[in-house]
A and B are shown apart, each in its own frame.
Chain A
Amino acid sequence: MADPMRIRAQASGDKAVVRVLMAHEMETGQRKDSAGKIIPAWHITDVTASLNGKQVLAAEWGPSVSKNPFLQFTIKGAKAGDKVAITWKDNHGDSRTDEATVS
């Protein structure tokens, strides 16, 4: 089971800036191990975000997004106390959802 995300959601005016750090290897599929064998690609492919249960963002990522990925986006109309949830899914079928409260 992957480590939890670190999520910061901060309201400013009538919007909230959300910053997320996910724990994932994001293996490119281009590297070789010490025996010269290609290390297979292993990366997050899909990311979604929701505000109070309603989806606000969908993203597709390739293996060139950095290890332990960072994501920042801004939700309109979000206020302190609202719930932001982030979900990622990788090409192994693994996935994880974490939630934070807008402060």
Chain B
Amino acid sequence: MKKALSYAALTALGLFLVAPFVWMLLVSLQPNKAPIPTLDHLVPKHPAWSNYHLVLFEQPNLPVLRFFLNSVIVTFSIVLGQLFVSSLAAYGFARMNFKGRNYIFFIFLGSLMFSGPVTQLPVYLLVRSLGWLDTYAALIVPGVSSAFSVFLLRQAFSAVPNELDEAARMDGAGDFRIYSRIIMPLSGAALATSAAFCFFATWTDFFWPLLSTSSSNMRTLEVGLSVFKNSYGNTNWPLEMTATVLVMIPLLVAFLFSQRYFTKGIMIGSIK
């Protein structure tokens, strides 16, 4: 009885969370320029797959494949950069002792508060004075380190038993060796988690790429397809939804592969 109730609740919740996506897909298959369908006409008799062709290949001013490539370049650079820079710092905070360590770590944590609207403007001006606006540098460099992943990795590194590096130290290993040969290999799951977080946060970042790029060749998928609206007149819902599905597909594929680390990972992030 309890089991049945649980399943009922789970299914209802699942529907509630997934129905909008199904709906999105169905609307994207309505004929181009069709008005918004009512529920009973939601399943199209002749799915208009041509909408996908139209959005992907028939938009001379909207290089969707280029947007995709930009997203890939930017996201992977940031993920790699963050893994390296943040893991180094996390090692420092978790396994080494130096003056002011806790204060500096506290500043890292505190900096989580001044993101978003607070620093966007000065970061924009900084990037401008470096001459980076509308280049990959503008999209990548501000993201290659994050206090959040430093925090996440520090938690994981702290959990590795101390005996291991003591043994290594006896063999004459230095800190960098311990970091690269012991801690990093042992923290695969945490690194994967941190990478997964970073991947989704970067891929779906909207505000910064919107601000820091101006030419369509430099736009990421998220920003590029957000402008999928005709400047005049009403929204063309089927094509709009087609663009939305196209944004979602890489995310869902990535999620499918990383989901294990992902759901595990937030646990590492939480304070035990």
Q: Is B truly associated with A?
A: no
B: residues with CB less than 8 A from A are none
A: residues with CB less than 8 A from B are none
